[in-house]
Structure 1
Amino acid sequence: MQVVHGLAGIAALLAVSWCLSEDRWRLPLRIVAGGIALQLALAVLFIEFPPATAVFATLNDAVGALQTATDAGTALVFGYLGGAPLPFSEVTPGASFVLAFKAFPLVLVISALASLMLYLGILQRIVGGFAFILRNTLGIGGALGLGGAVHIFVGMVEAPLLVRAYLMRMSRGELFALMSCGMAGVAGTMMVIYASLLGPVIPGALGNILIASVISTPAALAIAAIMVPFEAGAREPAVLEQSDPPSSALEAITRGTTDGIFLVASIIAMLIVFVALVHLVNAVLGLIPYPGGGAFTLQQLFGFIFKPLLWAIGIGTSELDTAAGLMATKTVVNEFAAYLDLARLPPDALSPRSKMIMTYALCGFANFGSAGIMIGGMSVMAPERRSEIVELAPRSIVSGTLATMSSGAIAGMLV
């Protein structure tokens, strides 16, 4: 019944995409069918195939090693705030955990390692393999295949930047598909952060987050092709573009660390501002009478929309309020805040299966803040297409959300 429910849920999400399509009678069947089939095949391979699961288990161990190494640096710089022994007794368990000093420094380390991997050509080979699979299974253009593959590892602005030379040549549908991939994935730097947060409540957290980001990419391409149909482009391989590549491994590490500082500052600023804005909006909405008592909130408003979709992908009826609240937080604030809430839930708030579904469903940048960042970044890269980018950005939040929810449905089928 889990499999039947999951497949029905995916069908429901595709039906929603079709209802929101710009041209409902122009359906690129190969891209749509190939994207969903590839999503299912990759999920089965990564979750059910023992050698693949062993690789992801090793990755989870690597996260622990990275966190330990980062703690050594933060303990030196920040003292007990960064992980050094406490000079006092901790009255409340977990009270010494300060997000800014314990979680965010890991972004710096991952950013430096990612820059080094790009310099050494390791990242290009991994991305090239995924791009080859996308081109030859879905029949999409080389630039879109490369952009979609890059989105598995970098953010919604960094990936278009690496394929900047191709942005002006993409059709409207291909541009939307590229934006949808950005909303349906998370950057590699953030995967490790989320895994460190979810490790205590989700077995193999990093492996599941990485799998979610990978399998959501073909789903995003399929859903984007339904919402803004496009024809398959030229399938010749595209190449990653680096305007000013580092001259040495040491420079690559230095640049990656510097970029990480900007990323950490952006994350902190976005969290502070958007949490504050949501509280302000909720204060205004609280003036509206809410049936049954209590205060009316923005999360409740979006929760009403998400409840039927979450039920369709496998969340139990008694858990819908909690799950819808998480999805609403992810959309209104961001996925970081939603993962924080997921990690802090009481043990009996969601079943282990529902927690796994939500881990996958939340794994994407589809929120209002990310849309603003995407508009700003891509408009600079392709100023001639600014109006098109602005028009498509809100729709990409929808397509990205539907893609990650389809991955949640598949997780519910296989766990």
Structure 2
Amino acid sequence: MLHSLAGLGVLVALAWLMSENRRLFAWRMVLAGIAVQIVIAILFLRVPLAHEAMLSLNGLVDALMAATRAGTSFVFGYLGGGDTPFEVTNPGANFNLAFQSLPIVLVVSALAALLWHWRVLPVAIGLLSAALRRTLNTGGALGLASGANVFMGMVEAPILIRPYLDRLTRSELFALMSVGLATVAGTVLVLYASVIGTRIDGALGHIITASIISLPAAIIIARIMVPETATGTEVGDDVPALTFNGSMDAVVQGTTSGLQLLLSIAAMLIVAVALVAIADIALSLLPEVAGAPLTLERVLGWAFAPIAWCMGIAWEEAPTAGALMGTKTVLNEFLAYLALAGLEPGALSDRAQLIMVYALCGFANPGSVGIMIGGLTTLVPERRDEIIGMAGRAFVAGTLATCMTGAVVGLVA
């Protein structure tokens, strides 16, 4: 417990060292934000009723996976999980990521659009944004877009406040970018939960909780690195709304958006795994270290071990956890979750695994930074130079925020 508490202090100190104005340290806001994170973590990890509710979300994952499998097996046959026309001697080789796992993004994207049309998501976003305004004193525009990030993603959420993007203060714009990189979109929550569900009970609940905890974490880190010096931007009646011409139109548009995301994920996985292989081939040319060839995983493990330790993970487990954190930061969080799911039994303790589930839950990686820059500069081209200038710092802020979330979980787990 004291270990993770000290780690929180280190992470806040790192953000302060990178601040644009170290004299403007809003310590009351920082303490309030950390308190909010701890309360959320205690609620879902320690309060029996809330914890059981979180664990019960596993049933939702199973239902969505079964429904998706019905569709993929109909379209792709045994490649999509249907019955094979031959005897399978190696059942483990029967799994196909592209045709059995990734299509769940299509189903969730269509459901998300449908829930938006039925006004379920707007109500949830409104409640979350109101909570952010009350606890962290964010402006209405930032609160609305930040709350939407949990459900919509870092490119779609700013669309909700498009008329206000050119009015946001520099600190608010930076916070919006940081929140986008510190959370994950609702369209991939179930995908990630399906990957790690075999290792972590209630995986979907944990990933949703991680995004919610990372919201105040990202705002805290952003306000430290780029302090607020003006009044927050409030919203009026001119906030654009996503509209669909009926439920069927919502399903069609949601499916189309999901297809674009699915193709992007598949392409990024191909390239990322290939880049890892190239790096391992290059490192294998160097002399062995500690009796074993160098690999990207080992190098990242050493580099990120101190960060893993700051989150409350024992030093002997820190290189393994650091390798996961490095994979998430250098490549992407999906590959990191796949690596977590593939760890040998006993490689990480149950507590360390739980911390890493939370710490890996964020879009802070170079590919996502590029997507964020492209999306925001299209929405508000007049602030292009400012967005590009702060993108690197937002990448750091998003990473520190998810690490802070991991430390909070380490504090209460």
Q: TM-score, normalised by structure 1?
A: 0.94
How far has the Cα of 1:242 moved from its partner? Answer: 4.4
Following superposition, the deviation at residue 281 of structure 1 comes to 4.1
Who is 2:110 aligned against? 112
Tell me if the contact between 1:31 and 1:221 (Cα under 8 Å) persists in the aligned partners.
Answer: no
Number of positions where the alignment pairs a residue of Structure 1 with one of Structure 2 = 413
Letter in 2 for 1:337: L
- Selected match of 1:218 from 216, 223, 237: 216
Contact residue 167 and residue 233 of structure 2 kept, 8 A:
no
* Preserved CA contact (<8 Å) 1:6 1:412: yes
Partner of 2:155: 157
Q: For the structure 1 residues 81 and 173, does the alpha-carbon distance in structure 2 shift closer, same or farther, using more than 3 Å as the test?
A: same
Q: Which deviations, in whole Å up to 9, do the C-alpha atoms of 1:208-267 show, x marking residues without a partner?
A: 111001001101100111111114634745679546611111111111011111110111
Q: Which runs of 4+ in 1 moved over 6 A?
A: none
Taking structure 1 as reference, are residues 289 and 242 closer, same or farther at Cα in structure 2, changes over 3 Å only? farther
Matches within 5 A, 1:242-321: 242=240, 245-289=243-287, 291-292=289-290, 294-321=292-319
**Alignment check: 8 A CA contact 1:326 1:341 kept:** yes
| 1:58 to partner: Cα distance | 3.0
Which whole-Å CA distance do the structure 2 matches of 1:284 and 1:382 have between them?
41
1:191 paired with 2:189, answer yes
Give 1:49's aligned residue: 47
Conserved? CA contact 1:140–1:232, under 8 Å: no
CA 1:80–1:241 in 2, change beyond 3 Å: closer, same or farther? farther
Question: Which residue in the other structure is 2:76 paired with?
Answer: 78
Counterpart for residue 363 of structure 1: 361
Separation of aligned partners in 1, 2:412 and 2:189: 21
Q: CA deviation at 1:278?
A: 3.6
Q: Which residue of 1 aligns with 2:25?
A: 27
- What amino acid does structure 2 have at the position aligned with 1:59? L
| In structure 1, C-alpha distance between the alignment counterparts of 2:249 and 2:57, rounded to whole Å | 26
Say which SS state the counterpart of residue 21 (structure 2) adopts: coil
SS in 2 for 1:169: coil
Q: 1:120 to 1:329 in 2, by over 3 A?
A: same
Separation of aligned partners in 1, 2:230 and 2:49: 34
TM superposition shift of 1:191: 0.8
C-alpha contact (below 8 Å) 1:209/1:360 kept by paired residues? yes
2:174, 2:394 within 8 Å by CA — same for their partners in 1?
A: yes
Q: Contact (CA 8 Å) 1:146, 1:239: kept in 2 or not?
A: no
Amino acid in structure 1 at the alignment position of 2:21 = D
Looking at structure 2, the residues matched to 397 and 342 of structure 1 have their Cα atoms a distance apart, in angstroms, of: 22
Is 271-280 or 332-341 further displaced after alignment?
271-280
- Does the aligned pair in 2 maintain the 1:220–1:403 contact within 8 Å? yes
> Aligned partners of 2:226 and 2:256: how far apart in 1?
37
Amino acid in structure 1 at the alignment position of 2:189: M
Answer with 281-290 or 305-314: which moved more: 281-290
1:168-183 correspondence to structure 2 within 5 Å:
168-183=166-181
**Residues 238/183 of structure 1: CA separation in 2 closer, same or farther (3 Å cut):** farther
2:346 corresponds to which letter in structure 1? D
Q: Which amino acid aligns with 2:314?
A: G
My pick for the range that moved more, 21-30 or 278-287, is 278-287
Give yes or no for contact 2:313–2:352 (8 Å, CA) kept in 1.
yes
- On the 8 A contact 1:364/1:404 being kept in 2, the answer is yes
Alpha-carbon separation, structure 1, partners of 2:115 and 2:29: 31
Q: Output the amino acid matched with 2:11.
A: L
**Bigger mean CA offset, 132-141 vs 21-30:** 21-30
Q: Considering only aligned residues, what root-mean-square deviation do their CA atoms show, in Å?
A: 1.9
Q: Which moved further from structure 2: 82-91 or 19-28?
A: 82-91
The equivalent position to 1:408 in structure 2, one of 401, 406, 413, is: 406
Structure 2 counterpart of 1:354: 352
CA distance in 2, matches of 1:347, 1:238: 53
Indicate the SS of the match to 2:372.
helix
CA distance in 2, matches of 1:359, 1:287: 33
The answer to whether the Cα contact below 8 Å between 2:56 and 2:202 also exists between their aligned partners in 1 is no
Deviation, structure 1 residue 179: 0.7
- What SS does the corresponding residue of 2:94 show, helix, strand or coil? coil
Aligned residues of 1:30 and 1:139 also touching (Cα < 8 A): no
Pairing 1:63–2:61 present: yes
- Contact kept in structure 2, 1:151 and 1:185, CA below 8 Å: yes
